Amino acid sequence: MCKFDAIPVVDAQPALAEGRQDAVAALLPRGDPARASYDLFVNWMQQTNPGANIDLFTVYGWVSAELFVQALKAAGPQATRAGLLSALQQIDDFDANGLLAPGGPASKRPA
């Protein structure tokens, strides 16, 4: 069973999530790219730490890793610290594949 405490609707109405395997999945239609990202995240959590409480901090960790990997790929196969920092400074449209509202990490543009 997966609890997803990061969704304000669930926090405001805990009865909505009670007894559901994924309260968030009900909010994301199949075929939506964000649903695929969410499913990947939940499946990974269930495989690596079954029964873990998926909360806002878990999601922050996941999307931070996505941002890091995106920058690492942009830095190239022989990535250096300077190259990674340069790549991070150029990412200005990031939404963690639909898990977040679009924001600009490089320009510090909020979502």
Q: What is the rounded CA–CA span in Å between residue 69 and residue 52?
A: 23
Structure tokens that stand for 75 in this block:
């830095």
Residue 105: Cβ within 10 Å count? 17
Question: How many CA atoms lie less than 13 Å away from 16 in the CB half-sphere?
Answer: 14
Confidence of residue 69 (pLDDT cuts 50, 70, 90): very high
Q: Provide the whole-model pTM.
A: 0.69
Residues 6+ apart with CB under 8 A from 39: 25
% of residues, the chain, pLDDT over 90: 41
**Which pLDDT tens digit goes with each residue over 6-50?**
444 444 444 444 444 455 555 566 677 777 888 888 899 999 999
pLDDT at 26: 56
Backbone angles phi, psi at 13, to 5 degrees: -130, 70
Answer for the pair 42, 51: CB distance below 8 angstroms, yes or no: no
- Region 43-66 average pLDDT: 90
